[in-house]
Amino acid sequence: MPATVFERLAPTRGQVLKALDGSVRRPFWLDDAPPDSGFEPLRGRAQASLAIVGGGFLGLWSAILAKERDPGRDVVLLEARHIGHAASGRNGGFCEASLTHGDDNAAWRWPDEVAQLDAQGARNLAEFETTLQQRGIDCDFERSGLLEVAVEAHQDAQLRGRAGYLDAAAVRAELASPTYLSGVWDRDGTALLHPGKLVRGLARVAAELGVRMHEATAVDAVAEHGSAVRLRTAHGEVLARQVVLATNAYPSLLGRYRRHTIPIYDYALMTEPLDARRMAGLGWRHRQGVADLGNQFHYYRLTRDNRVLFGGFDAVYHFGSRLDAALEERASTYERLAGHFLSTFPQLEGVRFTHRWAGVIDTSSRLCAFYALAMRGRVAYAAGFTGLGVGATRFAANVLLDRLDGVDSERTRLRMTRELPMPFPPEPLRYAAVQAARWSLDRADRHGGRRNLYLRALRALGLGFDS
């Protein structure tokens, strides 16, 4: 089978192991963030106007926006572990304007709404930045854009003709890599940020606005209780008039939606800080986020202190939608990522990785979030962000609050927010389907981007899968 550029320019295994030696399996972002506030678990019975389940970006944005809409609304937030424990503290820190996993996905699914979706996404990102400024949240926000790079000839063909096309010399002048054949720099649609600092900042703002927050408080059941909704926990319960479920990749508390997402493990590495000499060897003066155009793609970016985060490629699904902290340790994936890093930047040989970690992506079959109401309009739910949650969760929180409050808005009129994706099949078909998709995507990357009959059939059915 044809080799990829990362195999053609592969380092030795000794170089890879040396780079990984001494790295710790912990998300860098949470190590580098301000201390957690340590909210007490819920004990006994509580009441609220609005209860939120989940202490990640979606839950925190829902809490803050609800209080901004109505400062007198009594809001309680329940988090099973600690604030930002899951995807919100483990992602790459790319905050995109896109709500739909890119214009191509939007044009395929909602061709009549592309302009509206673009406008809504741009507005959401602008309001996101404004909130950071107004609320004093320092999360290393940089509006540096996204550099998409072609590393194979068929990927270069995809970019030719696009506005802002950079040939090999021009793209390597932005960032020096022997793998680059061309690129396109979207300067406006992506910001970079520190997700650990963001989640801590959002938690601080929510608490200052009067949101009651409880960590180590897992909700194990949700049910109607007269005119309210009852949330049951191990040591108590909450009765609320309205509920937002923001549980990301964890099994939905609404059984009917448990097959609308699957948990996909994504992996990342973080280097030590690069000194001035190494930075000079890279260029990267404009500090863009970067993604290559493979079906199995990599994403990478600089931190404020010039570390390089390098993640992606492997997208691992475990039979039965298994979730387990033990699955975060995957030596073969970390070695593959480190090898691809050194293929991309051979001038960084000798640099060490300090952190390695994994997080779970709530993948939907349409590659972007969906929205639902339950229990006679008292419970609102969103999931399926498929890697775009850093920015899109703020938009989603507004959609859910509009729905709960009965607000007819531009957001709620979108087909994207009203339609549901196709659910994934039950096991064992689900596992077989995902593995077949991963095999087919890898094959396409090795054969000029040509997609086989299986991938074409999935597209015809409206089903997507992405690394």
DSSP 188-254: SSEEE--HHHHHHHHHHHHHHTT-EEESS--EEEEEEETTEEEEEETTEEEEEEEEEE--TTSPPSS
* 226 has pLDDT over 90: yes
Pairing of β 165-166 and β 182-186? antiparallel
Q: Return the CATH architecture of domain 44-130+194-261+366-418.
A: 3-Layer(bba) Sandwich (3.50)
Quick: pLDDT tens for 81-107.
999 999 999 999 999 999 999 889 999
For residue 28 the two structure tokens come to 């860098």
The rounded radius of gyration (Å) of the Cα atoms in the chain is: 22
- CA dist 370 and 372 (Å) reads 7
Residue 459's pLDDT is 87
Residue 466's pLDDT is 66
261: closest CA among 374, 152, 364, 409? 364
Q: Which CATH number fits domain 5-31+146-186+262-362: 3.30.70.600, 3.30.1360.200, 3.30.9.10, 3.40.190.10?
A: 3.30.9.10
Helix (H, G, I), strand (E, B) or coil at 10: coil
Task: Identify the H or E element spanning 361.
Answer: strand 353-363
What does the DSSP 8-state code read for residue 59? H
Residue 436's pLDDT is 96
Per DSSP, the chain holds a count of helices (H) and strands (E) of 16, 19
* 271 has pLDDT over 80: yes
**For the chain, percent of residues with pLDDT exceeding 70:** 100
Mean pLDDT for the stretch of residues 237-241: 98
- CA dist 70 and 385 (Å) reads 27
Give the contacts of 412 (CB within 8 A, at least 6 positions apart). 399, 402, 403, 418
Length of the chain: 467
Residue 114 burial (10 A CB sphere; 0-12, 13-18, 19+): middle
Helix (H, G, I), strand (E, B) or coil at 352: coil
Whole-model pTM?
A: 0.97
* 467 has pLDDT over 60: no
Segments making up each domain of the chain, as ranges: 5-31+146-186+262-362, 44-130+194-261+366-418, 429-460
- CA dist 245 and 261 (Å) reads 14
